[in-house]
């Protein structure tokens, strides 16, 4: 099983959502930015590293949310581990994703999410107003 961290970055009552590029796996699906845990790394270090690499942002980690284990049709099993985060810097430089959107909670269901993200989106909607 592959452990993947992801960040629900909050600012002004909105959450940062990112669209995977056409060249990535799960092309054009929406996700929360993050990535795979590397050997010897804590989950928090992994998330901060990935967010810096992908978006050029520094984040503060606020809270861990329930993870979701999902098996994709190619048999790849991931444990997606979400964290609520806030911004420490605000200038975004998209290095991998095709675009980002800052979504209000009521807009979250309208995105075409990667399958593994759907329970995480549902939990977030139910718990944060």
Ligand X SMILES: Nc1nc2c([nH]c(=O)n2[C@H]2C[C@H](O)[C@@H](COP(=O)(O)OP(=O)(O)OP(=O)(O)O)O2)c(=O)[nH]1
* Residue closer to ligand X, measured from CB, 34 or 83: 34
Find the shortest distance in angstroms from Cβ 122 to ligand X.
14
Window of 28-36, 39-47, 59-67, 99-107 that interacts with ligand X by CB under 6 A: 28-36
Which region, judged by CB under 6 A, interacts with ligand X, from 55-63, 85-93, 101-109, 111-119?
111-119
CA torsion 113-118-7-92 (nearest 10°) is: 20
Applying CB under 6 A, among 47, 57, 116, 121 the residue interacting with ligand X is: 116
Judged by CB under 6 A, the number of residues near ligand X is 16
Is residue 103 within 8 A of residue 121, CB to CB? The reply is no
With a CB cutoff of 8 Å and minimum separation 6, the contacts of 95 are 53, 54, 55, 56
How far apart are alpha carbons 99 and 78 in whole angstroms? Answer: 23
Residue 15 touches ligand X, criterion: CB under 6 A:
no
40-48, 58-66, 84-92, 114-122 -> range binding ligand X (CB under 6 A): 114-122
Please return the burial class of 90, using the count of CB atoms within 10 Å of its CB with bins 0-12, 13-18 and 19+: exposed
**Are 82 and 32 in contact, with CB atoms under 8 Å apart?**
yes
Q: Is 40 helix (H, G, I), strand (E, B) or coil?
A: coil
Site for ligand X in 51-110 (CB under 6 A): 78, 80
- What residue ranges bind ligand X (CB under 6 A)? 4, 6, 24-26, 31-36, 78, 80, 114, 116-117
């Amino acid at each position: 099983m592959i452990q993947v961290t992801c960040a629900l970055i909050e600012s002004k009552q909105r959450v940062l959502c990112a669209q995977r590029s056409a060249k990535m796996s799960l092309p054009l699906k929406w996700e929360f930015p993050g990535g795979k845990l590397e050997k010897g790394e804590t989950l928090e270090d992994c998330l901060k590293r990935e967010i810096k690499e992908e978006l050029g942002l520094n984040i503060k980690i606020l809270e861990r949310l329930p993870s979701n284990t999902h098996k994709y049709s190619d048999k790849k099993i991931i444990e997606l581990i979400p964290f609520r985060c806030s911004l420490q810097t605000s200038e975004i430089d998209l290095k991998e994703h095709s675009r980002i959107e800052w979504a209000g909670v009521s807009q979250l269901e309208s995105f075409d999410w990667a399958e593994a993200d759907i329970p995480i989106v549902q939990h977030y909607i139910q718990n944060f107003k």
